[in-house]
Amino acid sequence: MLDRTSLLVAQLHTHQIGLKMTSPPVPAKTFKSFADLARFYCENEDYRIICRPRKDTQACIVAPHGGSIEPKTSDIARAIAGTEFSLYLFEGIRPTDNYEALHLTSHYFDEPSCLNMLASCDDVVTIHGCSVKGEVVLIGGRDNPLANELLASISETGVKCEATGHQFPASNPNNICNRGRRKVGVQLELSRELRQSPNIQRVELAVRSVLLQRASSKGNPA
């Protein structure tokens, strides 16, 4: 049987847990680094990190807002990476408010294991979700040659694809897509309708075909 002091401690603990579950999340838009985010949220409780480097490839697919932050971006990144390319996922696993709590702005996303893996990658493609209308892919990033190859390949599928004149240029050198060995990369913003459409498979295959061709031209096993 609990004595009075132990009972009060137990009641206080229960009250604190209740506050944690019901209080609004600290908004990720206030964070300037992954270290800021990690001060308020816990790995394997609020988020999980999946880091799958491959030594025989120089390409990496990254979903920095995966899981329930930007739904289906983890699945799309996995499909593009397949077994040939390195894969990094930062996934929200909270029961609610994943976007508000964990959507760390891309040019502040500096999670150490991600940066470590990208340091040995020449081709970096990041997968994001956006809310523009229709089935659309918006291409950004500083790797113009790769962006143009992806633009052509995706456009051939019949899915609308734009590389200029949109709100996601990803031109900041600190954007996670530009943190690979060559300091350039590509960001793919995929509309919600496209992520929920069977046509997303065409986009996945189009991106894979470009990366596989580039790997082959460099003599990589992939």
* Domain 26-217 annotated CATH 3.40.630.100: yes
pLDDT of residue 17: 44
Domain coordinates in residue numbering, the chain: 26-217
- Nearest-angstrom CA–CA distance, 98 and 116: 25
Cβ–Cβ contacts within 10 Å for residue 202, how many?
17
pLDDT of residue 176: 98
- Could you tell me the sign of the dihedral formed by the alpha carbons of 175, 178, 181, 183, in that order? negative
Look up residue 142 and give its two tokens. Answer: 């500083």
- Nearest-angstrom CA–CA distance, 203 and 157: 7
83-95 pLDDT per residue, tens: 999 999 999 999 9
212 contact partners, CB below 8 Å, separation of at least 6: 84, 222
39-68 pLDDT per residue, tens: 999 999 999 999 999 988 899 999 999 999
State the distance between the two ends of the chain, measured CA to CA, in whole angstroms: 64
pLDDT of residue 55: 87
pLDDT of residue 220: 63
Phi-psi region of 183 (alpha: psi -120 to 50; beta: other; left: phi over 0): left
Residue 79 parent element (H or E): helix 73-81
Q: What is the mean pLDDT of the chain?
A: 91
- Nearest-angstrom CA–CA distance, 106 and 65: 9
